[in-house]
Chains A and B, each alone.
Chain A
Amino acid sequence: MIAALLGFELAAARRTRTVTLFAAGFALASLAVALVGLSAGGAVAVQGFARTSVSLLQLVVWVVPMLALLTGAVAGAECHELEFVVGLPLGRRQLLGARWAAWTLALGAALVVGLGAAGIAIAVLVGAADGTRYLALVLVAWLLLAATLALGLAIGVSARSRARAVGIAIVTWFVLVVGVDLAAIGALEILPPRDAGWGLSLLLLADPVDGARALGLGLFRADAVAGPTGAALRRVLGGWGVWALVAGLVAWTVLPLVVAGRRFARRDL
């Protein structure tokens, strides 16, 4: 039954233009970033594959959350219009879970197409060194996609109307991508250097986008160029830090899904 529901949602997700457009657009943007990154020399303290990967990471942390939040918000709000499907002998949480899984698979496949195209271009032009780390970057992007989709679904289910859901999703994206960075800058200015690491760690866990960014930078040992959060990043990523960030992203997936499931299960449609 779960498989049937997943198949139904996946078929619906596949047929939307969102997935095709995302795959094509992301592939083009990734290729452009990769080729520009490869052709540029410069003072960046990383080499070849790694350098372009850091550029791609910036693309990932801006584009993926935006698309996933918007898609999740619309998909969540749409749940309130599925009266016929909800009237079938299915649990509402199952329906929501299938929706999330289907969109994660569909957009994840598009993400792999996009990053895959860039990866192939990089490998052909400069060799496959650091290829494994690049695959890990794809995994980080997928984790970010899963987390922000779950967050978008929670927003959509709570907001009920599509317009309101989309509005809240855009504000959320802005907060996650820009707002938390500003908070990090403020924290680093205010906190004494000894405590900055803790403050930064908490901010990274509190924001899936910055968590994914930190993980990606850590993959290519590029934490030295991490912008305002970079100063303490090396310390944060030491020891269990990487796993804490991965756990943070997983938590950012599970918690919104639980919240969305509870709200959807109890709400009148």
Chain B
Amino acid sequence: MIEIRGLWKRFGDRLALEPLDLTVATREVVALVGPNAAGKSTTLRMLAGILAPSGGGATVAGRDVVIDAVAARRALGYLPQKLGVPPTTVVGDLLELVAAVRGVPAAEARAILAGAGLGDRGNATLAELSGGQRQRLLLACATLGDVRALLLDEPSISLDVDGAEEVRAAIRAAVRRGAAVLFASHHLQDVALLADRIVVMVNGRVTATGTLAALAAAAGIPWRDGGEAVDPPIERIYRVLVKRGREHARSGPLHLVQGDAA
């Protein structure tokens, strides 16, 4: 479980994230969506210990991400938006390191590498892998071991259709193993297919949160659950809510959508 209580972040004069409250339950998938500089990555990076919060707090599997940072990171897997590893790193070396720090036997790690379709690339450097292969490797590393929470920043970035589907399958597998998943994405198809709840963020604040059906109702867009899950309505919903969020940011208090209005 991921619990965020009043977490906020300031970079110099800029408030990157206003106090945020959010809970992601076990086996739940929550998507953060919004335009650039909305605070999505900042949220994930604070949870992963990359950025120090300016205030508030958060726990992962009951461990405080600031006070008990290493223990919290033991319970979570983090996939950053950028590579986050020197491109000269050899695949096998990276996998060995992750397996060792997560207490996973090397043989199991190698099996996971093979499962990610990279069984024969153990001696390759990350620079020698394609974008999709790199992403699959890092996702495999992030989900290695007894991970209770997954933080994924643009997990299907630079992936083709098949690659994106593989990433979604890996996320679903992690959920089946009991992980809470919080991911940020501009790929609204991923959001529609994966997320139990969606959090819309604009300029560092949450402007709407709810199920896709609830957000559709809030946006005034007809929604028929089921077959239309990956249909364009999600893009229209997104545009309406982001536009509304921007207007609210200028003119007054927000009206958050919460719960399932379907």
Q: Which residues of A are found within 8 Å of B82, using beta-carbon distances?
A: 81, 83
Q: Which residues of A are found within 8 Å of B80, using beta-carbon distances?
A: 83-84, 87
Chain A residue at minimal CB-CB distance from B144: A88
Chain B residue at minimal CB-CB distance from A87: B78
A132: Cβ under 8 A from any B Cβ:
no
Whether B84 and A8, one on each chain, are in contact in the complex, defined by CB atoms closer than 8 angstroms, is: no
Q: Which of B85-93, B231-239, B241-249 has 4 or more CB atoms under 8 Å from chain A?
A: B85-93
Cα distance A16–B86 in the bound complex, in angstroms:
12
Q: Which of B22-30, B44-52, B182-190, B204-212 has 4 or more CB atoms under 8 Å from chain A?
A: B44-52
A1: Cβ under 8 A from any B Cβ:
yes
B102: Cβ under 8 A from any A Cβ:
yes
Whether B84 and A81, one on each chain, are in contact in the complex, defined by CB atoms closer than 8 angstroms, is: yes
With A1-B100, A90-B101, A268-B51 known to touch, is A84 a contact of B88 (CB < 8 Å)? no
A190: Cβ under 8 A from any B Cβ:
no
**Looking at chain B, what size class is its interface with the partner chain?**
20 to 34
B124: Cβ under 8 A from any A Cβ:
no
Q: A58-97 vs B: 1/0 string, CB under 8 Å? A: 0000000000000000000010011111111111000000
Q: Which residues of A are found within 8 Å of B141, using beta-carbon distances?
A: 84
With A87-B50, A89-B102 known to touch, is A12 a contact of B84 (CB < 8 Å)? no
Whether A11 and B93, one on each chain, are in contact in the complex, defined by CB atoms closer than 8 angstroms, is: yes
Chain A residue at minimal CB-CB distance from B78: A87
Cα distance A8–B89 in the bound complex, in angstroms:
9
Whether A16 and B78, one on each chain, are in contact in the complex, defined by CB atoms closer than 8 angstroms, is: no
A7-24 at interface with B (beta carbon < 8 Å): 7-8, 11-12, 15-16
Cα distance A89–B101 in the bound complex, in angstroms:
7
Q: B92-120 vs A: 1/0 string, CB under 8 Å? A: 01101110111000000000000000000
B121: Cβ under 8 A from any A Cβ:
no
Whether A4 and B88, one on each chain, are in contact in the complex, defined by CB atoms closer than 8 angstroms, is: no
Chain B residue at minimal CB-CB distance from A4: B100
Closest 3 CB pairs of A and B: A84-B84, A4-B100, A83-B84
With A84-B138, A89-B70 known to touch, is A4 a contact of B97 (CB < 8 Å)? yes
Cα distance A266–B69 in the bound complex, in angstroms:
12
B38-60 at interface with A (beta carbon < 8 Å): 45, 48-52
B219: Cβ under 8 A from any A Cβ:
no
Q: Which residues of B are found within 8 Å of A4, using beta-carbon distances?
A: 96-97, 100-101
Whether B74 and A86, one on each chain, are in contact in the complex, defined by CB atoms closer than 8 angstroms, is: no
Q: Which residues of A are found within 8 Å of B45, using beta-carbon distances?
A: 83, 269
Whether B71 and A268, one on each chain, are in contact in the complex, defined by CB atoms closer than 8 angstroms, is: no
Count A-B pairs with CB separation below 8 Å: 81
Whether B97 and A8, one on each chain, are in contact in the complex, defined by CB atoms closer than 8 angstroms, is: yes
Q: Which residues of A are found within 8 Å of B48, using beta-carbon distances?
A: 86-87
21 A-B residue pairs with Cβ-Cβ distance under 8 Å, sorted by A, are A1-B100, A1-B101, A4-B100, A5-B101, A7-B96, A16-B88, A78-B86, A82-B85, A83-B45, A83-B50, A84-B78, A84-B83, A86-B84, A87-B80, A88-B102, A89-B70, A89-B71, A90-B73, A91-B70, A268-B52, A269-B50
Q: Which residues of B are found within 8 Å of A78, using beta-carbon distances?
A: 86
Give the distance to chain B from A202, nearest Cβ to Cβ, in Å: 38
Whether B70 and A5, one on each chain, are in contact in the complex, defined by CB atoms closer than 8 angstroms, is: no
Give the distance to chain A from B72, nearest Cβ to Cβ, in Å: 8
Cα distance A1–B96 in the bound complex, in angstroms:
11
Q: Which residues of B are found within 8 Å of A85, using beta-carbon distances?
A: 84-85, 97
B57-81 at interface with A (beta carbon < 8 Å): 70-71, 73-74, 78-80
Majority DSSP secondary structure for residues of A touching B: helix
Whether B50 and A86, one on each chain, are in contact in the complex, defined by CB atoms closer than 8 angstroms, is: yes
Chain B residue at minimal CB-CB distance from A1: B101
Chain A residue at minimal CB-CB distance from B138: A84
Cα distance A97–B71 in the bound complex, in angstroms:
20
Cα distance A161–B32 in the bound complex, in angstroms:
30
Cα distance A157–B138 in the bound complex, in angstroms:
25
Whether A269 and B96, one on each chain, are in contact in the complex, defined by CB atoms closer than 8 angstroms, is: no
Q: Which residues of A are found within 8 Å of B51, using beta-carbon distances?
A: 268-269
Q: Which residues of A are found within 8 Å of B90, using beta-carbon distances?
A: 11, 15
Cα distance A213–B86 in the bound complex, in angstroms:
36
Give the distance to chain B from A191, nearest Cβ to Cβ, in Å: 47
Whether A89 and B74, one on each chain, are in contact in the complex, defined by CB atoms closer than 8 angstroms, is: yes
A222-250 at interface with B (beta carbon < 8 Å): none
Q: Which residues of A are found within 8 Å of B86, using beta-carbon distances?
A: 12, 78, 81-82
Q: Which residues of A are found within 8 Å of B102, using beta-carbon distances?
A: 88-89
Q: Which residues of A are found within 8 Å of B70, using beta-carbon distances?
A: 89-91
Give the distance to chain A from B57, nearest Cβ to Cβ, in Å: 17
Give the distance to chain B from A165, nearest Cβ to Cβ, in Å: 15
Cα distance A268–B51 in the bound complex, in angstroms:
5
Q: A87-B73, A91-B70 are in contact. List 12 more A-B contacts (CB 8 A).
A: A4-B97, A4-B100, A7-B97, A15-B88, A81-B82, A82-B86, A83-B45, A83-B80, A86-B50, A88-B101, A90-B101, A269-B45
